[in-house]
Amino acid sequence: MDTKKVVVFAMHDELESAYPPLNISIGAASTDADVILAFSRNGINILDKNYIPTPSKGKEYLANALDDFKATSISDLLSIAVNLRVRFVVPDIDVPESRIVSELPFEKVPLKWLLNEAATADLFVHF
């Protein structure tokens, strides 16, 4: 069977937008799919080891709910993704180098490359 390709685009860094791309990436990678997780200028903060997700206005209850359910932290999810060989990329046109604060492995890629990868993926989602 052919290896599936999954491209996930993290476009925002609010609490409710940070978990879905990581969960989908980890789930897909755990099935041996090739996974690319891209971060936009508004999602790049997720890669910062000091990132503390805050919910959007009106969704403040989410922070307490995640604590109550003992949800895995964003930092731990990123570590799991790295261990599962999820490929982190940042479109070069979207995020200046000075905005990227990360100790995690990531690649700067041309936006055109990312769009081509998304077009040929078995699954492409964005949040």
pLDDT, tens only, 36-68: 999 998 898 898 878 888 888 888 888 777 778
What's the rounded mean pLDDT across residues 11-19? 92
**DSSP 3-state assignment of 107?**
strand
**Cα–Cα distance, 96 to 91 (Å, whole number):** 9
**Cα–Cα distance, 39 to 54 (Å, whole number):** 17
pTM above 0.75, yes or no: yes
Handedness of CA 97, 98, 101, 103 (dihedral sign): positive
Instruction: Quote the mean pLDDT of the chain.
Output: 89
**Cα 22 from chain centre:** 5
Going along the chain from its start, the domains and CATH numbers come out as 5-126 (3.40.1260.10)
| 28 has a pLDDT exceeding 90 | yes
From 43, 41, 34, select the one nearest 10 (Cα to Cα): 43
Which of 22-26, 48-52, 99-103 has the lowest average pLDDT? 99-103
**Cα–Cα distance, 83 to 101 (Å, whole number):** 20
**Cα–Cα distance, 73 to 87 (Å, whole number):** 19
What's the rounded mean pLDDT across residues 93-120? 83
Report pLDDT for 1.
65
What's the rounded mean pLDDT across residues 112-125? 97
Residues whose CB falls within 8 Å of the CB of residue 54, separated by 6 or more in sequence, listed in order:
14, 15, 63
**Cα–Cα distance, 27 to 70 (Å, whole number):** 19
